[in-house]
Structure 1
Amino acid sequence: MASKRTEVQVRPGGEADLDALTAIYNHYVRETPITFDTAVFTPEERRPWLLSHPVDGPHRLMVAADTDSQEILGYATSSAFRVKPAYATSVEASVYLAPDAGGRGIGTLLYKALFEALGGQGLHRAYAGIVPPNEASTRLHERFGFRYVGTYREVGYKFGRYWDVAWYEKEL
């Protein structure tokens, strides 16, 4: 049985996307160890995060939307890696997809747009933390030139157990 191919538009995220972005993120908070947040957010609680990703500069938010329905299928961000000034040329990159949007190349479209947008921003490195096992995320990051640099062992506690975080870096 052939499935209908979804046309996807990737664009900067904005205020109108806040509810959908919050719903996607809350799925990962509730259902997975992929994020170490343990309590869901309201859109209002998530607004400072949204505002920390303007349409220009090194900290970006790109969203993928179904061209027909405008349903948000996922998002990618580049965020501050650490808060101290010497870290300003490094960012942490991440991708979150709607629960039914995996395996369709949407993460690839998002990262392609994100890294294109980051060109000329004076950035030196991008980092990504992946909670194993997450083969899809590992493949996506390696496809974009990230390489494994080490693992923080049992660094997060969620769902009654400890989780590792494998770290990857990419030269920008």
Structure 2
Amino acid sequence: MAHDEAVHDCSDLTSAALSGESVSDCAADTFGGVGYEEATRPSEGAVRTSSASSPGITIRPMREADAARVLAIYQAGLDTGNASFETTAPTWNHFDQGKRRRLRYVAVDPDTDHVVGWIAASRVSNRSVYAGVVEHSIYVDPSCRGRGIGRDLLNAFIDASETAGVWTIQTGIFPENGPSLLLHQACGFRVVGTRERIGRHHGVWRDVLFLERRMRDDPP
């Protein structure tokens, strides 16, 4: 991914190579009998305001009104050739159905509410044993990379996911995508292994590095 401090789509890098794009349905998982979607519902306010890494940027929950910008940023990432096996961004309906509604955030200019990056999660399985395991996708507007926005998005997502009871976040990154790999390792992800020649991209076999991050404390 160009300067992708977070321009990659893990859901189709890790899962789609085996069974097609990873698109979860939106039925509620359960944590001790509490519906997942209810347990992870964020406030409508910002979850993270300006910081030293990306001053002038606010992280807030994603809204349907953000759809056009989210998909445009998604497509810009795909166009780099190192973000995903996919080549075309999905429709909003497809995106909305495949990503957890309560674990998706955008980075915005607080003065204009202009979206400059996003992060979202999908679950990896319908089985209850994997209820606390998600895959995430994170993309930053090409014109805004190098400002620490990816780091702020990822850290905000990590905090929110742990509050929601997620115990493992997993992702896949092309080995050629060095900036994204460094970002994730800096945020506590570790490389579990390499999936060699797992899929073809523009006629070329590609490897995928599989990474995961465990929550800071053991889940209850």
TM range (shorter): 0.7 to 0.9
Q: Which secondary structure state, in structure 2, belongs to the residue aligned with residue 154 of structure 1?
A: strand
Q: State the secondary structure of the residue aligned to 1:163.
A: strand
Equivalence map 1:35-114=2 (5 Å)? 35-41=84-90, 45-51=91-97, 52-55=99-102, 60-114=103-157
Q: Which residue of structure 1 aligns with residue 70 of structure 2?
A: 21
Task: Determine the structure 1 residue equivalent to 2:10.
Answer: none
Match of 1:156 in 2: 199
CA shift digits 1:67-104 (9 cap, x unpaired): 22322111112221234443222111231111112111
Contact 2:66 2:115 in 1 (8 A): yes
Letter in 1 for 2:95: W
Q: Which has the higher contact order (CA 8 A, sep 6+)?
A: 2
CA distance in 1, matches of 2:205, 2:149: 30
Mapped to 2, the partners of 1:19 and 1:13 lie a distance apart of 12
Distance 1:25 1:124 in 2: 26
Displacement of 1:50: 2.5
Question: Quick check: 1:126 aligned with 2:174?
Answer: no
Tell me the CA shift for residue 166 of structure 1. 0.1
Unaligned runs of 5+ in 1: none
The whole-number CA distance in structure 2 between the counterparts of 1:162 and 1:103 is 29
Would you say the 8 A contact 1:127–1:167 is kept in 2?
A: yes
After TM superposition, which residue ranges in structure 1, 4 or more long, deviate above 4 angstroms? none
TM-score, L = length of structure 2: 0.67
1:33 corresponds, among 78, 82, 96, to 82
RMSD across aligned positions (CA): 1.8
The gaps in structure 2 that reach 5 residues or longer are 1-53, 216-220
Cα gap change, 1:120 to 1:107, in 2 (>3 Å): same
Aligned length, in residue pairs? 161
> Corresponding residue for 1:115?
158
- Paired with 2:146 and 2:125, the residues of 1 have a C-alpha distance of 31
